[in-house]
Amino acid sequence: MTQHLLKRDAGRIGLLYSSVSGIIGSGWLLGPFLAMQTAGPWSIGSWLIGAIAVLLLAFVFAELAILVPKSGVLVHLSHLSHGELVGRIWSWILFLAYVTVPPVEVLAVLYYANNYFPGLVTGPQHLLTEWGYGVSIVLLALIVAMNFLAIRWVLLINSTATWWKILIAIVTIAVLLSFSFHPGNLTLALQSTPRDGLFTSVATAGIIFSFLGFRQAIDLAGETQDPRRNIPFAVVGSVIISTLIYVGLQYAILGSINPALVLKDGWAGLRFKGSAGPLATLVVTAGAVWWSYFIYLNAVVSPTGTAFIYTTTTSRILMATGEMGSGPSRLTLISTRGVPWSALIATFVIGAIFLFPFPSWQKLVAVISSSTVLSYGIGPVVLLQLRSRLPGLERRFRLRWAWVIAPLAFIVANWIIVWTGLKTDSYVFGILLGLFTIYMIYYAFQKYGRRRPVPVLNAFHALWLVPYFGGLWLLTWLGPARLGGINRLSFLDCSLLVAAWSLVILAFALWNSLDRDHTQAVFTAITQDLHAGPDTAYEVGP
């Protein structure tokens, strides 16, 4: 049965806006305040570290996305270097990373709305109430429903929302600098602020989460006519634009705080009424009450816009899992408008479920940051494996200094995973272990119970994952108490050992990868339909 087709209506600017909108969501409304509590004035450097980390990963994926310009490209890439089992595991990681983003953006909307409609969140950690759960699920349903429009309308709506978000952020910076700025805050209480907060806030305060929206353009690679030009432009451009906004905003927020509050309780102890919506409260305190109304309005538009575009790309990721056999084939069903409708429904159902175990923004953000960066860890491996196994492959965009940039990207990704802390890492690795166990039981039942044809797992080529995941968890466990560890390693020692272990694992992963012939066969299978033209459909079902 031949399905309807994805439309290639996404242009260069539309892709740029999709990534910018994915980046500038709830992160700028909540992240700077949390980063300030964790790192004080060092938080400005935290945003720069986050930007560098994401740019390293973005450069890697700019080359890879053009090699396989298909929607949900990350799922397809994960099968290239190590075969079926690694591909399936990375499909689960990607699924976990993507499907949790729309719910976290909905949570941000409710945080700010709670100031006008009390009862949506409660307590110092701003946990959802029963009423808040109901409202969040309805809002999530509306966002998914809007995604049933054709892709050109999705990107048009997103582009409009992106302009609004950029304008509000820039004016907010100007207002805080004009109405209430204390330059001395930039050096206030530095001695009592842990310097490792400069790094841990990247993972736990929503900084890396705020930047990860750059991937939106990559996930829509199959819906643009000229991915060679459009993807690198959108990916790199979006990170640069958002970095300027985030650094400017952090600088303005640091200066807007009353110095007496910092001297009294320190940066970590900052608390004030209305902290569920900190940016609006700071604007009011500065004396610009009129602008706070725009902040509250943007607290609906900005996270909703990000949830909107993430719902778009999450459905493409789920569709790709169906194409690669990592998920049900029905996830590939496409409507007459060129929309993967069954994947959209699955996105809503699973996203709503994730609201229950993680009913606060910061709790869910830590899980997203760890799982997303873990999902990108395969990128440097795939890039170097293809450079080694298929050196003659036509590359319409070729990353310079790949053998330097890719290992650095791998190290930085693993640092961020460790910096999210032992509790978050244990949860993410625990989910993966559970999914792996369930799948292997299912696989054995299919192979030996019913004796049905099953895919070759290439299990040998997945061996590198055992020391990779296990080593990261062990180093986090041995790390400082700040990361949830047992304090056998200082933060610096832990980070240095993670860097060294990353290089060992990278070498092992390249040795443990598919040989040249198998890599070529997988690459051909994944890309064969691209040569038939932009409107080639997948065949699913009998």
pLDDT tens digits, one per residue of 271-280: 766 555 678 8
- Which amino acid is it at 181? F
Long-range contacts of 484-492 (CB under 8 A, 24+ apart): 484/421, 484/422, 484/423, 485/422, 491/196, 491/199, 491/200, 492/196
Mean pLDDT of 250-258: 89
Q: 338-385: per-residue pLDDT in tens?
A: 777 888 888 888 888 877 766 566 667 777 777 878 887 888 999 999
DSSP 23-58: HSSSHHHHHHHHHHHHHGGGHHHHHHHHHHHHHHHH
- The span from the first CA to the last CA of the chain, in angstroms, equals 6
Q: Give the DSSP H or E segment for 74.
A: helix 73-77
Of 56-65, 487-496, 533-542, give the range with the top mean pLDDT. Answer: 487-496
In which band, very low, low, confident or very high, does the pLDDT at 531 lie, cut at 50, 70 and 90? very low
Q: What is the pLDDT of residue 393?
A: 80
Spatial distance between the Cα atoms of 325 and 454, rounded to a whole number of angstroms = 11
Question: What is the pLDDT, as a whole number, of residue 379?
Answer: 87
* 441/277: higher pLDDT: 441
What would the two tokens of residue 40 be?
């004080």
What pLDDT is attached to residue 450? 60
Q: Which of 66-75, 172-181, 393-402 has the lowest mean pLDDT?
A: 66-75
Geometric angle at alpha carbon 213, from 211 and 217, rounded to 5° = 135
Which own/partner contact pairs does 154-160 have at CB distance under 8 Å and 24+ positions apart?
154/308, 154/309, 154/312, 155/9, 155/10, 155/14, 155/15, 155/17, 155/18, 156/14, 157/308, 158/14, 158/17, 158/18, 158/21, 158/305, 158/308, 158/309, 158/312, 159/13, 159/14, 159/17, 159/21
- Would you state the pLDDT for residue 320? 73
Residue 297's pLDDT is what?
82
Q: Measured at the alpha carbon of residue 304, what is the angle toward residues 300 and 309, in degrees to the nearest 5?
A: 160
What is the pLDDT averaged over residues 168-174? Answer: 90
Tell me what the mean pLDDT of segment 122-136 comes to. Answer: 79
More confident residue, 329 or 133: 133
pLDDT the model gives residue 70:
62
Residues in the chain: 542
- Cα(40)–Cα(49) distance, integer angstroms: 15
Q: What is the pLDDT of residue 357?
A: 64
Q: What angle do CA 162, 225, 152 make, to 5 degrees?
A: 40
- Residues 308-335 have pLDDT tens digits of 777 877 787 777 777 766 667 777 777 7
The three-point CA angle 494-500-501 to 5° equals 85
Tokens of 493: 């020692």
Three-state DSSP state, 127: strand
Strand partners, 539: 2
- Tell me the mean pLDDT in the region 501-526: 90
Predicted pLDDT of residue 280: 81
- pLDDT tens for 372-417 read 788 878 889 999 999 999 888 877 677 888 899 999 999 999 998 8
Q: Which residue has the higher pLDDT, 411 or 186?
A: 411
User: In this structure, is the dihedral angle defined by the CA atoms of residues 415, 416, 420 and 422, taken in order, positive or negative?
Assistant: negative
Per-residue tokens: 48: 């720069």
Q: Tell me the average pLDDT across 473-480.
A: 95
Q: How far apart are CA 528 and CA 150, in angstroms?
A: 26
**What pLDDT score does 536 carry?**
34
Quick check: 213 and 23 in contact, CB under 8 A?
A: yes
* Confidence at residue 532, expressed as pLDDT on a 0 to 100 scale: 40
Q: Return the closest-CA partner of residue 541 out of 298, 342, 294, 337.
A: 342
Spell out the domains of the chain, with CATH numbers in brackets.
12-530 (1.20.1740.10)
What are the tens digits of pLDDT across the range 204-221?
777 887 887 777 677 665
Cα gap 213→235, rounded to integer Å: 9
Q: Where are the alpha helices (DSSP H) in 377-419?
A: 378-389, 402-419
Write down the mean pLDDT value for the chain.
79
Q: Place 460 in a pLDDT band, splitting at 50, 70 and 90.
A: very high
**At CA 256, angle to CA 255 and CA 259, rounded to 5?**
75
Residue 341, Cβ neighbours under 10 Å: how many?
18
Q: Is the pLDDT of residue 542 over 80?
A: no
- Residue 149: predicted pLDDT: 66
What pLDDT is attached to residue 224?
A: 65
Structure-block tokens of residue 182: 């204390």
CB 311 within 8 A of CB 31: no
Q: Determine the average pLDDT of the residues in 472-490.
A: 93
Nearest to 86, CA basis, from 76, 97, 78: 78
- For residues 75-102, give the mean pLDDT: 80
Q: What is the pLDDT of residue 534?
A: 35
Residues ≥6 apart with Cβ < 8 Å to 493: none
Distance CA 200, CA 419 (A): 5
d(CA 45, CA 219) in angstroms, rounded, equals 29
How far is it, in rounded angstroms, from Cα 189 to Cα 186? 9
Judged against a pLDDT cut of 50, whether residue 424 lies above it is answered with: yes
- Out of 18-22, 256-260, 524-528, the most confident range is 256-260
Q: pLDDT value at position 362?
A: 64
2 falls in which pLDDT band (50, 70, 90)? Answer: very low
The answer to whether 416 and 208 are in contact (CB under 8 A) is yes
Question: What three-state secondary structure class fits 228?
Answer: helix
* Closest by CA position to 25, among listed 137, 92, 108, 113: 108
Higher pLDDT residue, 409 or 190? 409
Residue 11 has pLDDT above 70, yes or no: no
